[in-house]
Amino acid sequence: MDPDSKRLRVSVSDGTGRAVRDGGLARWLAAAAPARAAGEVSIALVSDARMRALNRKYRGKDKTTDVLAFAHDDKDEGLGDVVIATGVARRQAAAAGHSYQSELRVLALHGLLHLLGYDHHDRSDHGRMARLEATLRRRGGLATGLIERAAARASLRTGARRATR
């Protein structure tokens, strides 16, 4: 068996296939990934407009989102593709008080977990994705993960609604 088939290989492009400087993102994700993550993952860093078009086409939501994951049906083609909206990533990094590179890592890790079959939106997940994301982001030196941030925002909104009643 090919030894490379047992490890994660990550490439980063501009969405048109041109490689970009990734600030160590590919190397970081390969190191932070769970041991069972093997194969190829492509990360595309795209404009917010491109992300909105993808979100509309594939999810029926006419708005920009931060990250999308597209798993390959044929695993011989690799695990899949992670698409990150760079404008959203920059704004979220500023709001979270960390660097753009850290935000790219948060989003790439989240997308990778979706490629591996985790889905925090599915009730049958029972928090597995959130727990794994927290473990891996701590191992990778990230202060917080995407699911944790979303949960904190939702908690704040719920608390604000209760306070106004």
Q: What pLDDT does 49 receive?
A: 96
Range picked from 22-26, 44-48, 151-155 for highest mean pLDDT = 44-48
Among residues 143, 124, 108, which one has the least CA distance to residue 33? 108
Q: For residues 72-97, give the mean pLDDT.
A: 89
Asked if pLDDT for residue 32 goes beyond 70, the answer is: yes
Task: Report the 3 state secondary structure along the chain.
Answer: CCHHHHCEEEEEECCCCCECCCCCHHHHHHHHCCCCCCEEEEEEEECHHHHHHHHHHHHCCCCCCCEEEEECCCHHHCCEEEEEEHHHHHHHHHHHCCCHHHHHHHHHHHHHHHHCCCCCCCHHHCCHHHHHHHHHHHHCCCCCCHHHHHHHHHHHHHHHHHHCC
Task: Please give the pLDDT value at position 147.
Answer: 78
pLDDT score recorded for residue 123: 79
**pLDDT interval class at 10 (50, 70, 90):** very high
Residue 122: predicted pLDDT: 76
Would you state the pLDDT for residue 130?
A: 86
Res 67: pLDDT: 96
Residue 93 pLDDT class (50, 70, 90 cuts): very high
Instruction: Kindly report the pTM of this predicted structure.
Output: 0.86
